[in-house]
Chains A and B, each alone.
Chain A
Amino acid sequence: MLKTFTLGGIHPPREKLSSGSAITPLPLPERVSIPLSQHIGAPALPLVKKGDRVKVGQLIGEAAGFISANVHSSVSGVVLNVEEAVDASGYARLAVVIRVEGDEWDDRVKQRESPDRYLSAYSREEMLSAIQAAGVVGMGGATFPTRVKLTPPTGSRPEILIVNGAECEPFLTADHRLMVERGRELLIGTRFLMKALGVEQAIIGIENNKPDAIAKMREAVAKHALGIKVCPLKVKYPQGGEKQLIEATTGRHVPSGALPISVGVVVHNVGTVYAAYEAITMHKPLVERVVTVTGKSLARPGNYLCRVGTPVACLIEAAGGLPGDTGKVINGGPMMGKALASTDAVVTKGTSGVLVIPVGEALRKPYRDCIRCTRCVQVCPMGLEPYLLMTLGEYQRTGELERERVMDCIECGACSFACPAYRPLLDVIRLGKSRVGQMIKSRK
């Protein structure tokens, strides 16, 4: 019997079009625009100015505070400007625009891992500072600085590290390909993180629709590592949600409002583990990532290794160009991603995919009144009542929203997906969440 989480969940069509296509390096674009805020927390402070020459891996933005992350140049060339550039939502954010000239790497970055150093040779502090220096953030989409997550608050004791390879979003295959092609590196990375956290046990959770990834990881585990277990999971969205994955793999429940560390668990995405591996063994900053470019109307859906700051338009070009009938281009997957206001938006540390949707399927259907069918309640993986949260959100009943645990919402979109009246439940719940968040903040 395969494991999964108990409450709610949905089964959207998987549509993993690009699962068989190997990770291909994307040719360097002519210019990149690297946002200084690619993570949760304070935006990084720019260290370069117009006219400066930079190399790949050079620090261009310094972390501003504990919850913040370094930003590095992903290309070599000349800084054209440090200016407000349009981000994925269309709002202007500070970014460093660089004209690409050649591909010259910073001297400190090694191109391959040093073969003579073993795991035991790295101390915990050395690993943590390497991860911090490299600006590694959670690459599953939340972009929380990894260093912070690896430093559990005093009084809590981590027991298990969970590596998130669920990739439950339809269409996306970036993590899948990473597991198939970079199994050994991921395993070393997992061992590093286990040592950094001081845990003896790690579980790699992978959904059962990726048998090649499961086989690859199992093979690697059998060859190298002790204490790591590969756990195949029954396919169900949103398995990759932190709390859902913890329940599916360990059976532990994270209480409402608490962090996973309260049950002794820390979860990291496979992309993050790979970035941590590169940061520790090669001093390579997080300047490139695997992005799935996909969509039924695209000529060549695939997985591309691309530099941070690359315009989305370049990725779509590599995948065969933007089809004429495109209705929406989504940053991320179809469930949790957001439509881009323009393809000038760039790939950031948290961009896992770019999804092109033809005009016929892109527009939402007009929504109608709620018929109290409770489909949304049945599918909510957090045990909330989305129809109620939407109504409370519409009338701005912030106090009641808080009591109905709106802050537990993981914004997976299962309610909006399941609603037979096409009600935009998540839109309103998200707004309510931000209002409740402000209210909680103002109390302090």
Chain B
Amino acid sequence: MSSIILYTTVSLCATGIASAVILYLVARKFRVEEDPRIDRVEALLPGANCGGCGKPGCRGFAEAIVKANTLEGLCCPVGGETTMPAIAAALGLEASARVPRVAVVRCGGDRARRPRYSRYDGYISCAVEHALYRGESACPFGCLGLGDCARACAFDAIRVEESTGLPVVREEACVACDACAKACPRGIIELRDKGVKARRVFVNCVNRDRGALSRAACGASCIGCGKCARDCSFGAIIVENNLAYIDFHKCRLCRKCVSSCPTGAIREENFPPRKVELSRIEFEN
């Protein structure tokens, strides 16, 4: 009886040792050499796997950095101002400076200014609605308001406002990863430089129809009249296909265009209230 137990134990042990030796040899032979620096870089990254850097997840980004052995053109938009210098220090490389950016929603067609004529009751996705028809309003370029951008955001930085039907960006949470801009089937969202004190001036419309058509569809549309371009002292505004666009590299935030736009399609953000307006309010009171 005891001999059975003995044989079993011994043969099991022998099998175990033999397998261990085989496994050890196989592991030695087929070992994948991996740069230990990849793990170190990955540990420094935020781990959100958002794809904002253009690589498949944080691991992919770490591999790309180590392989390139330079930080030129490689940047983690999520990590803010700390991540890239930290990686540079860990690898002994030079960190390139980056201008902070933020996602900007370029549609001002809220429910009041852009009347809805029909009702969409299909699958809740802007991409599906966009592929099927022009949307509930008469504007074939404007925001559909079904929130593909909000679902794409990994940082809870964008959500669709119930009252206006338009997405709102929480600037402090936005890391400019570009996920919302890629998710938007109509290309309404754009990454723009955050600007001095986060101040920005931009055309809040992407409608490329002729003025009469876009005006009929929405009260807040750019009609391509070109007044802003003529008024701009810095040549920052170009009008193409009935639509004005402000180049944020050239814009000096003078806000002349904001007051000259006849439809109110140019939007200023994070500026202090205007003195002129204040005095007028006081006067009226």
Residues of A at the B interface (CB closer than 8 Å) are: 84, 86, 89-92, 338-339, 341-342, 363-364, 367, 424, 427-428, 430-431, 434
Contacts and interface: CB of A to CB of B under 8 A. Distances in A.
Contacts of A90: 118, 133-135, 140
Nearest to B140: A91
A92 B123 contact: no
Interface stretch (B83-91, B124-132, B167-175, B197-205): B124-132
Contacts of B118: 90, 339, 341-342
B121 interface: yes
B178 interface: no
B283 interface: no
A292 B140 CA distance: 29
B209 interface: yes
Given A90-B140, A92-B209, A424-B123, A431 B131 contact: yes
A428 B140 contact: no
Contact of B121 (A86, A338, A364, A430): A364
B133 A434 contact: no
A338 B133 contact: yes
Given A89-B134, A338-B132, A338-B133, A427 B121 contact: no
B140 A92 contact: yes
Contacts of A430: 128, 131
9 contacts: A90-B135, A92-B140, A363-B119, A364-B122, A427-B128, A428-B123, A430-B131, A431-B125, A431-B127
Interface residues of B, number: 17
Interface in B157-177: none
A86 B140 CA distance: 10
Interface in B167-197: none
Prevailing SS type, chain B contact patch: loop
Interface of B: 117-119, 121-123, 125, 127-128, 131-135, 140, 209, 213
A431 B129 CA distance: 10
Contacts of B140: 90-92
A341 B135 CA distance: 8
Contact of B134 (A91, A364, A367): A91
A360 to B, nearest CB: 14
Contacts of A424: 122-123, 128
Contact of A427 (B119, B122, B135, B213): B122
A210 to B, nearest CB: 31
Given A92-B209, A364-B122, 5 more contacts: A338-B132, A341-B134, A363-B119, A428-B123, A431-B128
A426 B117 CA distance: 24
Contacts, number: 50
Contacts of A364: 121-122
Nearest to A425: B123
Contact of B117 (A84, A89, A341, A427): A341
Q: Which of B119, B123, B125, B135 has the most CB of A within 10 A?
A: B123
A432 to B, nearest CB: 10
Contacts of B125: 427-428, 431
A393 to B, nearest CB: 9
B121 A89 contact: no
A91 B208 CA distance: 13
A424 B129 CA distance: 12
B130 to A, nearest CB: 9
A428 B131 CA distance: 10
Given A89-B134, A428-B128, A363 B121 contact: yes
A341 B138 CA distance: 9
B209 A427 contact: no
B133 A427 contact: no
A437 to B, nearest CB: 11
B181 to A, nearest CB: 15
Nearest to A431: B128
A94 B133 CA distance: 16
Contact of A434 (B122, B131, B213): B131
Contacts of B135: 90
A186 to B, nearest CB: 34
A427 B127 CA distance: 10
B42 to A, nearest CB: 24
A363 B122 CA distance: 9
Contacts of B127: 431
B114 to A, nearest CB: 14
A355 to B, nearest CB: 16
Contacts of B209: 84, 92
